[in-house]
């Protein structure tokens, strides 16, 4: 069960620590939602922008982050955002452990989870994540489900309910609101704030938030609060 005996929870997870997180955090805070922000501390700088559709995407500089993400969870996304499954064990360890240590220092908090860069991993990656003290790790494959992982193995191979761009988002929201479950159910949305800007669909996220916020039977927590 979630806090206050609630059987339903909603949480968000956003990657890469980019400029559009400013607008995203304003929306989440306005509606009372909590998210995990998954950051690459080795490349967390505005120095290397990239293009998404016609949008120039820039990571935020580190000094801004503690203030911006106050009240939300900070999680590992690796030091430099590689495909972890192609690396040897010491390099995977370097990517996860050093990102965790950097984030714990920058945010003065314990970091407990991660999102896999590109959503990809193998058995060595999950084993190394566990050895680095990470307790959950998220992929990018939408399940359309509200199941909660039960074991450490499941938590380190967790797949989200859907992306904020998923055409099923509002259908899933309607179904979730109607549930009166006997076991805890979790609506977990992941994504990238820059995709909301690039696809010009911030209004979809706002509609989702407006519909699902402020319900007595739903707990609004960070990833760690609802998964661990
Ligand atoms: Zn990423």
Confidence at residue 122, expressed as pLDDT on a 0 to 100 scale: 98
Q: What is the count of structural domains for the chain?
A: 1
- Residue 96: helix, strand or coil by DSSP? helix
Q: How far is the CA of 6 from the centre of ligand 1 (A)?
A: 31
Residue 42: CA atoms inside 13 Å, Cβ hemisphere, count? 15
Give pLDDT tens digits for 146-197: 999 999 999 999 999 999 999 999 999 999 999 999 999 999 999 999 999 9
Distance 1 CA to ligand 1 centre (A): 31
CATH of the domain at 161: 3.20.20.370
The pLDDT of residue 152 is 97
Q: Which residues contact 112 (CB under 8 A, 6 or more apart)?
A: 75, 133, 134, 135, 136, 224, 228
Instruction: Give the domain extent around 153.
Output: 3-227
The closest alpha carbon to 145, from 122, 176, 116, belongs to 176
Ligand 1 being an ion, which residues bring their Cβ within 5 A of it?
Answer: 15-16, 117
Please name which of 69, 74, 88 lies closest in space to residue 41, comparing C-alpha atoms: 74
Q: What is the tens place of the pLDDT at every residue in 10-40? A: 999 999 999 999 999 999 999 999 999 999 9
């Amino acid at each position: 069960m979630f806090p206050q005996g609630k059987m339903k929870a909603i949480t968000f997870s956003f990657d890469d620590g980019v400029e559009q997180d400013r607008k995203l955090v304003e929306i989440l805070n306005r509606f009372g939602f909590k998210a995990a922000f998954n950051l690459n501390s080795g490349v967390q700088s505005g120095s290397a922008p990239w293009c998404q559709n016609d949008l120039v995407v820039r990571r935020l500089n580190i000094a801004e982050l503690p203030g911006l993400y106050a009240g939300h969870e900070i999680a590992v996304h690796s030091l430099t955002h590689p495909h972890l499954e192609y690396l040897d064990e010491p390099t995977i360890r370097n990517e996860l452990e050093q990102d965790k240590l950097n984030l714990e220092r920058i945010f003065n908090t314990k970091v407990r989870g991660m999102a896999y860069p590109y959503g990809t991993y193998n058995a060595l990656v999950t084993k190394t994540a566990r050895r680095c003290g990470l307790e959950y790790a998220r992929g990018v494959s939408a399940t359309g489900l509200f199941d909660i992982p039960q074991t450490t193995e499941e938590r380190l191979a967790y797949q989200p309910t859907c992306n904020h761009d998923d055409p099923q988002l509002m259908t899933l929201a309607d179904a979730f609101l109607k549930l009166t479950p006997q076991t805890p159910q979790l609506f977990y949305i992941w994504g990238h704030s820059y995709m909301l800007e690039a696809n010009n669909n911030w209004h979809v996220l706002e509609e989702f938030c407006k519909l699902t916020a402020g319900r007595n039977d739903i707990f609004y927590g960070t990833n760690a609060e609802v998964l661990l």
